[in-house]
Structure 1
């Protein structure tokens, strides 16, 4: 059996070597390198100009991936660093030509023995040829060209020159090309200042920067560092004692991040989206023009609002970002209410400290910000804002058999109000009536509506779902609100309008894809109630923008997550605040006190002096005067009268002094500004 295995391995090795040699033999001269550039011209090679991002006005935002290159002559690169790279990538670099047959055989055997790809067979010269002149496609033709170009390089340059070009050109991850750029990117120091541990870590990166980066996976980075140190011992570059000490040294990165402009989380979001569809090489180096949906002014407003809001929390709680306790984080996203275009996106407080995109990637409890979906589902089942619910103690049996227990929802203020209208229950964010409501209409209608609104996160099938215990993302919840703002028409959010390649070839183009997921009259009823949240309820801080606004606060259990989502007829925006560590912001903190002012700050900056738009009822919905406590129709002389809306056919015949005339004419807003009807959807 052992003989058979050994024979099989030898045959595999022989086959691979023969394929390599055969390919080189029969491959005609498909490519030649005529008049290769001078040594110091090669390191500034770019495999295609970087792709550029543009905002919604057609102005350049910047490259999709900032490239960082610093060229050093080989004489300024420390010997130990050169030895580390050679040990890791091509131990016999100074002994072979363009192709290392022994290295290929050795790597193949070790890979077979370990049942994994632990070593590569490409020489440093081959890697340089591929980096300088070829794409990363995996074809026989590309391999033939690589071997031919490597041979040309070996004939035209000395080994030291080839190594110098390699160390200045190879990619080390996070936009860093060349060893000096890598040293500054990961450790904020020059190559002459690197320790042996840092030297080994950097030398191990070219094989797979995305896999071995200490900024991505510290465990893999440590394992790769150990491999390089072991190889340096094997090649005689260092002693075992030196390797052992270096291997025990904690990896301490001090990254020097290069700015991605005003919208780093947005740029990274776009990059990930496009690379998933077009591929990494095309997106990064295809000289693309990427026209995005981002509005630069709104983005700046979002950054300022989040920054000022978090600073206020830190100051009030006497917390520091560096040292002391960990500071809270925040996120903000804004959508065009009619198209779903992403207009602003902030994923955290400081991109240089954390690239985690809390606006897109995080899943947190929305608290009462989820309640509008419950009430909209109730409206779909024939209930109205005037329907009465009982705000009184209630309990439910949770579970079955000996595992069952009683659950009694409570209101935030621990008091009960008796009979209340659906409108008041949502405006004041009262928990107990909301739980009664979902127990009346059922859980399934709420989940069904959530799915229609684009929420894909897992929803807990329990009455507590009505209180926002299921974790969702800020982007998906903001998208759901977009449908309410757009009269029940959902336009899935998107960030890229058009991608244009060289020669002005359009590679990709996106348009709004509206779909009516909620009836217009239902969406308007909910919007009307959410306007009341701002006028009389928990979202009063948003009144300061001085125009019609519909919004909802959300405070999760123990105040770990604070949300504020709201909209005008033109913009939908959502704000989240909390700690990454799932700790309370404060037992007495609420979304209305903390998140709402940030949202208001952003909206005031974004809307500026733009025309004020009103939410107008669709056909079949008409306004009446109703008593805000009882929900009963009343006259304008009633001191408790508010404007309520009813759907034609669902209400009894009402007295003439109760029904208000519907007009599309402009009307004065509380701010004194002229109020215009909403702009028609595109």
Structure 2
């Protein structure tokens, strides 16, 4: 028996040694596998933590939010330092007590969950750590397969191997879903309580911390009782973890909280056409790709002035009849830097997102004339340059083609008029003569220099704006004149940053002189003529219908075709332009519809500048002003019944005095009584019917 027992002991030792050896080998192998996985995770490097984030657009003051754009997941990334400590403590207590002690897997918790599942004969308790949940949210689908679990484990190791605990916790809190379209704690805090996550109270924080377990079931907006029960569990856990006292937990659970009535769903933007144009600039001009837009939580600081935008929209609604189906486009710019301060691309964005301010090309009519006359000034014209205004047929293409422009209502001076009067009265014959005299290429070249990128046709009618252009191009061209010939380009964005403050773009403030400063000043003063009744001639100035609204100096030009109505003009501080017309080229037949552009422009400008001091257009020292007779462009004398102040480049001003109203020195001037005797009685009343 003794021998048998000894033999059994030897055999047992042999098996024990074998088991020990196998266990040791398995342990070494397991350690090797684990080490290999960790090393491989290190070699793979940190996994990208990019997730969709909301892009925030700010108005020009940098403080007010204009709009928020997200791609199905409303999220604002915030650092741990910008999250309430109560929320951090509540999340750690309920989701992962030993987060800062384990390396991605809580084996004690796994064992406890396994025992609980065995006792209940079903899965009743989870054991995922915060790192595991973060890995799942970042990289994986939520299907319950072994493959997914293995991938989750690997991503968990990669996260732990390459990021510190605070970075992982920050990412988790900015990624987790809190219901009602809110992803991340900042979006949730705003959605439920209308405040930043940094300002959450203990009561608010414990309610939010309970939502991720079941975003619908534990939503305090949908199931308040469920949310309060979950809150009680979290408060008890925080007491157990010594974050708070029992007394504080008790009073917190009884505390009433106020939820915001604001919906977390995306509201309609205040300036949708402007935002659409800003997004185009973000992608096409600044070359910020779609992935960066979606994942970097961009903070886009725009140029929009919310007050001016509101004024523009109000004036459009007040001016254009609600029954009219006519469309409108509007742009207001700061002429000093090209910043677009307000923009309207149509009557209703929800009905038509087509942006008529930046996308549509329409015939600008006579608003093209200031560009023509600037080119003419470069080629030697002055405000006193005279040409005959009469019905004229022009022959071109070596006699193969003819063109006969006409003035409004076929009114002509039937004699010479000055450039100053021609632009104020919008004489078409004078414009075409100028265009052909200086060469058709000159207007095309000048328009290009002034920012017109739409191709223009070199034809005689180009002087009258028959070649279509964009509204924003024309407003920009006028801005260059208003800026003394210094180049400006329309911009919607001042600065772009990522959520963590990295500067991606900032608008430059460099100026390039593209026009002569003196000639630009002369052109500006020519454009004030449409508001100066001293230039009335064979017809009245084109600005007469809106003179009653005007309280300060403006330079501008109106324009019209059978299908388009325009008004563009500026003060020293602001330039704006209005287009009205029908999308499909329908003619504008009614008189009220033809007046919309001018009225909307002037009422906008007056309201926009109401609180600013009245300022006049300054002129550089090389520009001189003199009083002229507007009919012949000569220096006005005391005898001239009408005098007009005109501006000239020094050395080009007229030197000859007007003698049209001087009597021959050998004759005595007729007395007042004789003049009245010679005047037929009915002629005294004719001016009333003029």
Query: Shorter-chain TM-score: which interval?
Result: 0.5 to 0.7
Give 3-state SS (helix, strand or coil) of 1:466's partner: helix
* Residue 379 of structure 1: aligned partner: 377
In structure 1, C-alpha distance between the alignment counterparts of 2:341 and 2:580, rounded to whole Å: 20
CA–CA distance in structure 2, aligned partners of residues 539 and 656 of structure 1: 27
Per-residue deviation, 1:590: 7.2
- CA positional deviation for 1:616: 1.8
Question: In the alignment, is residue 572 of structure 1 matched against residue 582 of structure 2?
Answer: no
Match of 1:412 among 399, 408, 422: 408
RMSD over aligned CA atoms reads: 3.5
Hey, what's the Cα distance between the residues in 2 that align with 1:304 and 1:153? 55
Residues paired across the two proteins, number: 441
Task: Quote the offset at 1:634 in angstroms.
Answer: 1.1
Tell me, in whole angstroms, the C-alpha distance in 2 between the residues paired with 1:283 and 1:645: 50
The 1:367/1:151 distance shift into structure 2, 3 A limit, reads farther
Post-superposition offset of 1:581: 1.0
In the aligned structure 1, how far is the partner of 2:526 from the partner of 2:420? 6
Q: 1:563 aligns with which of 563, 566, 570?
A: 566
Aligned-partner SS, 1:454: coil
Q: TM-score, normalised by structure 1?
A: 0.60
Moved more, 276-285 or 574-583: 276-285
1:300 matched to 2:310 = yes
User: Displacement of 1:499 after TM fit?
Assistant: 1.0
What CA deviation, in whole Å up to 9, does each residue of 1:15-43 have, x standing for no partner?
A: xxxxxxxxxx9x955799xxxxxxxxxxx
SS in 2 for 1:356: coil
Q: CA deviation at 1:484?
A: 0.8
How far has the Cα of 1:529 moved from its partner?
1.4
C-alpha contact 2:405 2:429 (8 A) present in aligned 1: yes
* Contact kept? 1:53, 1:292, Cα under 8 Å: yes
Q: Distance in 2 between matches of 1:561 and 1:46?
A: 48
Distance 1:62 1:304 in 2: 18
Q: Matches of 2:583 and 2:611 in 1, distance apart?
A: 36
Distance verdict in 2 for CA 1:60–1:132, change over 3 Å: farther
Instruction: Indicate if the aligned counterparts of 1:340 and 1:512 stay in contact, CA closer than 8 A.
Output: no
**Can you list the C-alpha shifts for 1:122-154, whole angstroms capped at 9, x where unaligned?**
xxxxxxx9995259xxxxxxxxxxx97686479
Q: What's 2:293 paired with?
A: 283
- Residue aligning to 2:616: 614
Matched, 1:261 2:266: no
Look up the match of 2:674. none
TM-score of the two chains, using structure 2 as the length reference: 0.59
Q: Which residue of 1 aligns with 2:236?
A: none
Match of 1:628 in 2: 630
**CA shift digits 1:220-275 (9 cap, x unpaired):** xxxxxxxxxxxxxxxxxxxxxxxxxxxxxxxxxxxxx9544221111111112213
Alignment partner of 2:642 out of 637, 640, 655? 640
Partners of 2:332 and 2:582 in 1: CA distance: 21
Structure-2 change in CA distance of 1:309 and 1:467 (3 Å): same
State the SS of the aligned residue for 1:516: coil
Counterpart of 2:338? Answer: 340
| Alpha-carbon distance, 1:350 to partner | 0.6
Counterpart of 2:519? 522
Q: Is it true that 1:59 corresponds to 2:63 in the alignment?
A: yes
Secondary structure in 2 matching 1:586: coil
Q: Does 1:551 align with 2:556?
A: yes
Q: Distance in 1 between matches of 2:655 and 2:417?
A: 23
Deviation at 1:545, TM superposition (A): 3.4
Q: Relative to 1, partners in 2 of residues 1:396 and 1:655: Cα closer, same or farther, differing over 3 Å?
A: closer
Distance 1:151 1:485 in 2: 67
Q: Which residue of 1 aligns with 2:687?
A: none
Paired residues of 1:373 and 1:450 also in contact (CA < 8 A): yes
Equivalent residue for 1:4?
A: none
- Could you tell which deviates more after superposition, 470-479 or 501-510? 501-510
Cα 1:62/1:649, change in 2 over 3 Å: closer
Cα drift, residue 612 of structure 1: 1.0
**CA distance in 1 between partners of 2:505 and 2:54 (Å):** 18
Task: Map Cα deviations across residues 460-490 of structure 1 (whole Å, 9 max, x no partner).
Answer: 1111000000110011110000011111112
Instruction: Name the structure 1 match of 2:532.
Output: 535
Deviation at 1:570, TM superposition (A): 0.6
- Name the SS for the 2:69 alignment partner: coil
Once the two structures are TM-superposed, the CA of residue 155 in structure 1 deviates from its matched residue by: 13
How far apart are the structure 2 equivalents of 1:261 and 1:371? 37
Q: Distance in 2 between matches of 1:298 and 1:454?
A: 24
Aligned ranges for residues 125-524 of structure 1 at < 5 Å? 132-133=137-138, 152=151, 259-276=267-284, 277-310=287-320, 312=321, 314-315=322-323, 319=324, 327-397=325-395, 399=397, 404-417=400-413, 418-524=415-521
- Deviation sequence 1:408-466 (CA, Å, 0-9, x none): 11112112212111111111111111111111111111111111101111101111000
Gaps of 5+ in 1: 1-24, 33-44, 71-128, 136-146, 157-164, 171-256, 320-326, 658-682
- The alpha-carbon distance between structure 1 residues 452 and 149, as it changes in their structure 2 partners (threshold 3 A), is farther
